[in-house]
Structure 1
Amino acid sequence: MPYDIAIIGAGPAGATLARLLDKRYKVLLLDKRDLMEPEEGERTKCCGGLLAPDAQEVLGRMGLAVPAGVLVDRQLFLVRTIDFDNHLERYYQRFYLNMDRKRFDEWMVSLIPPHVDMGMKCRFTALSEMNEGYEIAFIHKNRIYTERARVIVAADGAWSNVRRQVFPENPGIIKYIAIQEWYETSESIPYYGAIFDSTVTDFYSWIIAKDGRMIIGSALDPDREARSRFEKLKNELRDFGYLFGKRIRREGAYLLRPRSASGIITGNDHMALVGEAAGFISPSSAEGISYAIRSAIALADSLNQGIEGFQYRYRKNLNHLKRNIMLKRLKCTAMYNKTLRGLIMRSGILSTDIME
């Protein structure tokens, strides 16, 4: 086999794995974007670009510090929670790093050692199983290429093409579509807005200020009414007092939400799934960067002990992450039940008073 390990996707999960794998392995990393020599205006991942405390912690444990060039000009220390169901509003203290998600991914890729072969602007298309692994096909500059690897790693996000070709639909996962629109605004927004409205979504919506612009986003049931419910959200925000002008761009992506640990797919003897491709994402907040990095660390540890039997070790290494997902599911009981959420918000517990 020309490659020991082929990684599809160079986001936080794929880039972390490529960086941590033992040098004795011949590794190929593919991504449909160019994260080494990016082009102006190139498409970015649909993401709010907030680095949550869990992700900050895991980066710190790896000895990494986020470069200043990755951060944007407004850092956020508050969550403004707006509950349209109960007509309530509270502020809560939280500490996020507000960043440019594309520059964050470029930085993560820049840390990958030179012995890893990287194919940027390569779109994975298909795979076929062989006795000792898989053959993969991908397109680069309108030409089809194939490579073989003993282990394929799906790090290609929630709508993983790798996962969909090998594994059936998983009833343990709820599928959403995340829609974000960027707007010009003159309004000062020194917080992260979390919005709850069960007539829009049974998950949540968000407002983020970034470089003088306003992001409005929501995780929606991907049916025919998703767009109209997103418009309803924007109208509610206007009526609530938000001012936003010309739309700069719209973006969208699928989002997975695990119902239970059974929604996590780790792979098989010649394949592993990491990050959102495996189903690792917070079911309460949709935070995924910390899970992407932690699942990649768990897989690197198992593979660095040898390819034989790596899947057993990987599943064992993931037990703590699965327990964390289950704790977040319990948190959902309070967050997404409008009666319980109303009681908690009215009590003012853990909330922060804002000085006028």
Structure 2
Amino acid sequence: MNDYDIAIIGLGPAGATLARLLDSRLRVIALDKKRDNGDEGFQKPCGGLLATDAQRGFIRFNLNLPTDVLANPQIFSVKTYDLNTRLIRNYQRTYVNINRHPFDLWLKTLIPPAVDVRHDTLCRRIGRLDDGRYRVTFSQNGREEVITARYLIGADGANSMIRRNLYPDHHIRQYLAVQQWFPDRHPVPFYSCIFDAALTDCYAWSISKDGYFIIGGAFPLKSATANFEQMKAKLGGFGFRFGEAVKSEKCIVLCPSRFCDFRCGQDNVFLIGEAAGFISASSLEGISYAFDSSEILSRLLNHADDGSNLNRRYWAATRRLRLKLYGKILKAAVLTSPLLRKWIMRSKISHIAVE
């Protein structure tokens, strides 16, 4: 009774989408750190914006967003700040403002009942058996359980245990995402993208959401907290208003910098979403790539009886996705270059003046 065809570790957008798309004839178990309802348990720090590519995923899936995952207001521009040059520009964007944790929980409700979903679990160990199957040990409600599966799916995000086991000597550039929530005291809600080469070679962000003002950024691991506080102090001179933080959040975020940073798996282990390195280096957006990679893998797993090498086919099928993400690496190199960013912002290309 503890033997499965597929074991999915992690039920963020990638894992939940894969679990929803798999054929009902497959015996599937899915392990997730989040609880099945409420605000307690694991929550990923996230600005909570759905990019255009993620919206296209909903069209392909024939899904509509429920209103209880949407956040107010819907903002149609990003205000870009370069703290070094003090340049400020406004660019049109078509993001959808959402509340990330309810969004993740909603995606889990779409998983068919045939999938054995285990909430509030922690994967402890994985190992390969002599017959090629995988043994997974996890804890739930203070008790350890063991299952076996033919295929193992790593959908466990930036700090993926599955990825570390597969590629112990390979490391992707990492940042610590630090984010705080404040009561919003700004007269007009806004979304911003913030650059400061003195504090991070990545970027920071802010977003108004349901009466709160979220400020966050991706910083070098060793100095993340100090650099975050320095950034807030600088932003006070640009009209940002902070009071007493009502919530603070942190998590590791990946930022691929080489084509070899995208790893898809091997030996009947597959990586999807951020666990595979599928995240934009220029915006740290990963939901659209979680949708794309899980959709690609679901088609292969649903027709896995033809004897072909699924890992090789998955690698080939994600080629276009990996090339697209490599383009984001090149874009990030431009955006995070102080000289090039200064030239772009001074040119006022695509800038929309606010009266």
For the criterion TM > 0.5, the same-fold answer is: yes
Matched residue, 1:287: 285
> Residue 238 of structure 1: which of 220, 236, 239 is its match?
236
Indicate conservation of the 8 Å contact 1:189/1:209, yes or no: no
Matched residue, 1:3: 4
CA distance change for structure 1 residues 253 and 124 in 2, over 3 Å: closer, same or farther?
Answer: same
Distance 2:43 2:208 in 1: 17
Matched residue, 1:228: 226
Displacement of 1:189 after TM fit? 4.3
**1:40-189, aligned counterparts within 5 Å?**
40-130=39-129, 131-171=131-171, 173-189=172-188
Larger displacement relative to structure 2 (75-84 or 177-186): 177-186
1:329 aligns with 2:329: yes
State the secondary structure of the residue aligned to 2:342: helix
Indicate conservation of the 8 Å contact 2:174/2:221, yes or no: yes
Deviation digits for residues 46-84 of structure 1 (CA, Å, limit 9, x no counterpart)? 111111111111111211111111101211111000001
1:278 aligns with 2:279: no
Matched residue, 2:345: 345
State the secondary structure of the residue aligned to 2:118: strand
Displacement of 1:164 after TM fit? 1.6
Count of residue pairs brought into register by the alignment: 351
Matched residue, 1:317: 317
Distance 1:116 1:20 in 2: 11
Query: Cα RMSD (Å) of the superposition?
Result: 1.3
Q: Counterpart amino acid of 1:49? A: G
State the secondary structure of the residue aligned to 1:188: coil
Distance 2:293 2:316 in 1: 11
Matched residue, 1:12: 13
Matched residue, 2:31: 30
Distance 1:249 1:86 in 2: 31
Identity of aligned residues (%): 41
Distance 2:237 2:175 in 1: 26
Distance 1:76 1:320 in 2: 30
Displacement of 1:107 after TM fit? 1.3
Indicate conservation of the 8 Å contact 1:193/1:208, yes or no: yes
State the secondary structure of the residue aligned to 2:174: strand
Deviation digits for residues 276-328 of structure 1 (CA, Å, limit 9, x no counterpart)? 01100001000000011101011111111206421111111101111101111
Indicate conservation of the 8 Å contact 2:258/2:326, yes or no: yes
Distance 2:211 2:150 in 1: 47
Indicate conservation of the 8 Å contact 1:15/1:112, yes or no: yes
Displacement of 1:169 after TM fit? 3.8
Displacement of 1:332 after TM fit? 1.7
Q: 5+ residue gaps in structure 2? A: none
Displacement of 1:260 after TM fit? 2.1
Distance 1:107 1:226 in 2: 31
Indicate conservation of the 8 Å contact 1:134/1:270, yes or no: no
Distance 2:39 2:246 in 1: 15
State the secondary structure of the residue aligned to 2:198: coil
State the secondary structure of the residue aligned to 1:135: strand
Matched residue, 1:191: 190
Q: Counterpart amino acid of 1:348? A: K
Q: Counterpart amino acid of 2:281? A: P
State the secondary structure of the residue aligned to 1:90: strand
Distance 1:127 1:43 in 2: 22
Displacement of 1:333 after TM fit? 2.8
Distance 1:42 1:168 in 2: 28
Displacement of 1:188 after TM fit? 3.5
Displacement of 1:331 after TM fit? 1.2
State the secondary structure of the residue aligned to 2:311: helix
CA distance change for structure 1 residues 64 and 92 in 2, over 3 Å: closer, same or farther?
Answer: same
